[in-house]
Structures are given as structure tokens and as C-alpha cells.
Amino acid sequence: MPHVGIEAMNVYAGTACVDVRALARHRQLDLARFDNLLMLEKTVALPNEDPVTFAVNAARPLVDALAPQEKDRIEMVITCTESSFDFGKSLSTYVHQLLGLNRNCRLFELKNACYSGVAGLQMAVNFILAQTSPGARVLVVATDISRFLMDEDTHDQDWSFAEPSGGAGAVAMLVGEDPQVFRIDVGANGYYGYEVMDTCRPSADSEAGDADLSLLSYLDCCENAYLEYRKRVPQADYASSFQYLAFHTPFGGMIKGAHRSLMRKLAPAASAEIELDFNRRVAPGLDYCQRVGNTMGAAMMVSLASTIANGRFDTPQRVGCFSYGSGCCSEFFSGVATSAGQARLRTMDIGRRLDQRYRLSMAEYDEILSGGGVVRFGTRNATLAERYTPATTDGQGATLFLRRIENYHREYAWMA
């Protein structure tokens, strides 16, 4: 069976962020409860940033690194998002055009809450395995933003802690037959899903849900998706088969709880042993997540990128991955990363680019949340202000921003 997986990978986390502990104080949240989130910063999508700018800024370094003949073998572009701005037109068309890809290419979009990124990855994997076009590559981009616009209906007590954890970002992956970054364990999948109303986006610019139900559904799916994985891989052992674990990460505290629950049920292990295991196998995957916030469809892949960038890969290491999407669908799968893959991922310099984001003051952040300059779903015509742009691009090179919308069509510009 041919190898398949991620040949190249990049995380793009925008140009601006906020200190979420400062935000918690600003909102007068219970800081003891806030500390359980295990969050440090979150990306804030500026008015002239949208899911396309995040997607293209993530994918461009991967595409630019290809020779012309390699670039022409990208035969499918899959965008994965719950933040689309059109009920029909796929944002993959914008991504394809802005990256200058071959027109002999399939373009489409997937929506399934936070599971969409892994759904896109697995669809790409199976296209490559099918060998209908030997040597082809698939560009998969998971891209999502959250905008906590000022609205009393969505800021009740139950959802006040969603604001510090709700971020924005994109992960781009080239999937093909030379998986230097992450080789998929073909056939090693456990999936589990059912209908539950834990979180949703009932309108284009709002989110709703039941935080407690979402946590319980996540824990239920995490256990049962892994148990299904174990049916397909009978020799698998949660405590010893995976040198690292990467989880869909709404916030770090949820991951710590999920890992603790599985270790108690499947290992079983005492509290001190679980804490050590968490720090060794799970914490490397939280580094980027703690600084970006919940990126919905991209969150699982942000954790995987963080694991590969920050773990130890002197020898090949197996990573167990868990993806969860509200509503719900989940999957546990695995793959192998190596030192060569880590070196290739590190050339993306993701940590440095996180450091270079502009730190918004609380006044600046609240101004954005008040809706000033933010274009909403269905906007027909708009011109975006440039006042946010100059301070945020320092040291990051050419960055794509939304400039205007004319008769619903979005126009973008690169700014150095």
C-alpha cells in the first residue's frame, strides 16, 4: 500500500491578538475558573481579515515552495469551514485564484462544525489512495474565525467564558504520496457520531449552545471514537501505542479533562501518573492552541502542527489524533512523524509569527467587537478601512487582506 499523508503544512494565525487573562479581568470573569481554560492569548480577526485571507496566507508558503510542474499537480482544493460568507459559492474558488493554481482542479467546501478539517484531510487521503490520478496532490485548508460582536443575547453567563477561548486561524496541508510531515496510518480510524444540540451557528453572525452538553458530548465521543479505533487496530493501547496525542482544542482545560478520563478508564492510572503523561504526550500539542484560541475546523490540525513542531522526534513517533465537531461527528486516527518532518514544519517559523502579532488593547478590541467596519454575512458592497493594516504587518512579509466587496464579489490585496 502506498504511503499517504501530509507533505507540507503551515499554520497562519492572523495579525492581531489579545492577552486573554487581561480580557478576563476586563470582563470581570471569575479568574479561578478562567485559569482552568489553560489559555494565554487568542487571535482576533480584524475587519479586513476573513476566512479567505486566513486560508491563503496559510497556504501561500506551501505553494510558493513548489516547482511549477509540482504546483500544476494540485488537482483538488478543499476548504473546510463553518465561517463561510455565501450559501452557495465556495471560498475555495477565491483560494484557488489567489494562489494562481491550475484550472484543471476540483474546488469545493466542507462544513461539519469543528470536524470539517479532518473530514477534508481524510477525503484527500482517500483520493490519493484511490490512485485515479497518480502523483496528484490535494490542498486542504481548514479556516475559521469567530467574531464576538457586541450582542446581549449571546453574552449571558453560560457563554461568557467562550469569548476568551474563541480565536481565529487556518491550517493549510498539501496531501500526497510523499508524506514528509505526517504519514497517515491507513485504515487506523475510529469514527463516532450522533445528533446533539450542543453548539451551533443559528445565523451567520451568531453562535449558541449548551456548554455543559458540549463538554459531555466531547468526552463521550473521545472515548467511543477511540474504542472503535481499537476494534480496527486490536493491538492499540491508549497509554503506550502513541508517543504523542493531539486533540481538537477548544481550550486546554477540556483536553486535560478528556485525557484524564481516558487514562482513568483505559490505562488505568493514578492522578500523579496522569499528570506526568499529560505533560509528556499532550502538552506539546497545546502550545500553539493556547496562543491562537479555538480555530474550530482547524483546531485539530493546529494541535497536530504544535505537536510535531514542539515534540522530540529523534526516532519516528506515532501521534494519536482526536477530532470532534459539534452536532456531532468525531474521529480518532493516527500517523507517524519524524525528525525530517519536524525540520520541514519548523521552516514555517510558526512560533515567531505568533510572536509578531499586534497586541490589541482592550479599547481597540472592544472597538472591533462593537461592529465598526466589520462586514456581515450577505454584505453587497463595502470598502474596508486600512487603519488596522500598517501596524499589523511589520516583519511578516506580504500579507493578504480584504479590500472591498462590490456586488457581493470580494476583492483582496497583498500588503508588505
Burial classification of residue 131, based on how many CB atoms lie within 10 Å of its CB (0-12 exposed, 13-18 middle, 19 or more buried): exposed
| Three-state secondary structure call for residue 172 | strand
Q: Would you state the cell numbers that stand for residue 170, as one nine-digit string?
A: 487556518
Q: Would you state the cell numbers that stand for residue 242, as one nine-digit string?
A: 502513541
**How far apart (Å, rounded) are the C-alpha atoms in residues 331 and 190?**
5
| Three-state secondary structure call for residue 19 | strand
Secondary element (H or E) of residue 330? strand 329-337
Active site (annotated) includes residue 82: yes
211-232 vs 252-266: helix crossing angle, rounded to 10: 50
Note whether 158 and 209 are within 8 A (CB): no
The residue annotated as part of the active site, out of 7, 75, 80, 114, is: 114
Note whether 182 and 335 are within 8 A (CB): yes
The residue annotated as part of the active site, out of 75, 96, 207, 248, is: 248
Active site (annotated) includes residue 248: yes
Note whether 171 and 79 are within 8 A (CB): no
**How far apart (Å, rounded) are the C-alpha atoms in residues 25 and 23?**
5
- Return the bridge partners of 12, or none: 170
The residue annotated as part of the active site, out of 82, 109, 223, 331, is: 82
| Three-state secondary structure call for residue 358 | strand
E strand segments, 115-268: 137-145, 168-176, 182-193, 199-203, 206-209, 244-247
Active site (annotated) includes residue 96: no
Active site residues: 82, 114, 248
